[in-house]
Chain A
Amino acid sequence: MTDRFVTRGFVGRREAGGTDTRGRIPPGQYITRDFPVLSAGPTPHTPLDRWTFTLDGLVSGPVSWSWPEFTALPSRDFVVDISCVTKWTKLDSRWHGVAVDTLLESVDLDPSAAFAVAYSDGGYTTNLPIPDLLNGQAFVAWEYDGAPLAPEHGGPARLVVPHLYFWKSAKWVRGIRLVERDEPGFWESLGYHNRGDYWKEQRYSGD
């Protein structure tokens, strides 16, 4: 359709770095070495002694962890590439946290549960099909690059779903609700794609 369009005079700055980055930059993205911050409102600051993480909805019984309980769960490092819908991609970002699989071992999932809604301090929500959270694909992180996760990057804890655009990786996450029907979250209700697979460049509704 527009495949043959050429922008007069544009050469572009090809990403340096050679073979180790080839195949790792999704369409329309560019590499950044910074860690840009994007969020829709003020950064919440929940004291750790009042912080909990909850699994609820279609589960045998809701489970809540306090901060000491949560950070004592089996955890590990995750080194992942992340891509924001605003076009930046950051390679080899290093996080520490607990896999969502590990969290789900604490509950019996109702067979009708098919989708998840991650919810956060400040009212943010984002929706995901449950399979996008399984098999080590998603984790809740409280450390970034060896240090406690900064509030502007989602601390104390952030959901990270690195294979989808980064708005799915809810900052300040406080729980995951398991539901039967898909419910669009914050950005998904405001024109952004419902699933957000960056290899398919699913940025906006209709992509």
Chain B
Amino acid sequence: MAAINWQVATVDAIRDETAQVKSFRFDVPAWPGHRPGQHLDLRLTAEDGYQAQRSYSIASAPTSNGAVEITVERVRDGEVSPFMHDIVEVGDRLELRGPVGGYFVWDGSMPDPLLLVAGGSGIVPLMAMVRHRATIANAPPTTLLYSSRTDDDVIYRAELDRLAADSGGLRVVHTLTRSQPPGWTGYARRVDHQMLADVVGASADTLQVFVCGPTPLVESVAQNLVDLGLPPSRVRTERFGPSGA
């Protein structure tokens, strides 16, 4: 297989998603294309040659024009995410390589109804899937169950609202675990067995599931889905620990 080479990308847009989360769009001249769910590696190099690398999930749907977007949550005491948030400006050049990963991927070739379960910034690779499914014909019905701490922590809020209203077969179910705005009628607790049972309904064993978030959420959601009758092979997981800096 051909090597995945480092290349220089240019930051061509930066967007605030929440107080702690920003998206960065890169222009990557030799981007070979990607599938939703894959990630890329970023490499930062200091004047003296010191380097740091991190992996970030790709947030954007596949395009052919070399535009690739990642979404970065600021990690307190982190090394790379504070640099991305505080220093990087439009026009800056950064080294990256990708795409990487071939299992936590949904590219439209799986015909079964989708259940996507996200915790916090675990939404990012799932958003690439949601964005991709909005561009293809005959996309399967999809439910996104998205757990955030507060209303202000919901990433991609407006875009998700718009896509869910488009009657394109996307249902978005939010749960807010820490605090809820006045009048909130949605879920207000961590994702649990009952919530998954409600969301899944009777169709559990035909779903294709992708779960991404912090380890406790992923462990519990995956176990609950297996308890609800999903074959483990239909549950694909991706996790980030507290050290994803």
Contact = CB atoms under 8 A, between A and B. Distances in A.
Interface of A: 1-2, 5-14, 27-30, 32-44, 86-88, 122-123, 152, 186-187, 189-191, 203-207
Contacts of A203: 41, 100
Most buried by A among B93, B94, B241, B242: B241
B241 A37 contact: yes
A32 B243 contact: yes
B95 interface: yes
B63 to A, nearest CB: 21
A41 B46 contact: no
A44 B6 CA distance: 37
Given A30-B52, A41-B236, A207 B79 contact: no
B8 interface: yes
Most buried by B among A9, A187, A205, A207: A9
A87 B53 contact: yes
A12 B52 contact: yes
B245 A30 contact: yes
Nearest to B92: A8
Question: DSSP class of A's interface residues: helix, strand, loop or mixed?
Answer: loop
Nearest to B94: A7
Interface of B: 1-4, 6, 8, 41, 43-47, 50-55, 79, 83, 87-88, 92-95, 100-104, 215, 219, 222-223, 225-226, 232-233, 235-245
B79 A13 contact: yes
12 contacts: A5-B45, A7-B44, A7-B46, A7-B95, A9-B83, A10-B52, A42-B225, A42-B235, A152-B219, A190-B102, A191-B102, A206-B2
Given A44-B232, A190-B101, A204-B100, A39 B239 contact: yes
B47 A6 contact: yes
A187 B101 CA distance: 8
B240 A36 contact: yes
A187 B103 CA distance: 8
Question: DSSP class of B's interface residues: helix, strand, loop or mixed?
Answer: mixed
A34 B46 contact: no
Most buried by B among A39, A42, A190: A42
Nearest to A191: B102
B79 A191 contact: no
Contacts of B44: 7, 10, 12
Contacts of B92: 7-9
Nearest to A151: B219
Contacts of A186: 103
Nearest to A44: B232
Contact of A123 (B47, B54, B233, B241): B233
B115 to A, nearest CB: 14
A88 B102 CA distance: 20
Nearest to A45: B223
Contact of B83 (A10, A190, A204, A206): A10
B223 A28 contact: no
B43 A28 contact: yes
A91 to B, nearest CB: 13
Given A28-B51, A40-B237, A204-B4, A12 B46 contact: yes
A87 B244 CA distance: 9
Contacts of A86: 55
B233 A5 contact: no
Task: Give 10 closest A-B pairs by Cβ, nearest first.
Answer: A36-B241, A206-B3, A190-B102, A205-B1, A42-B222, A32-B243, A28-B53, A9-B87, A13-B79, A34-B243
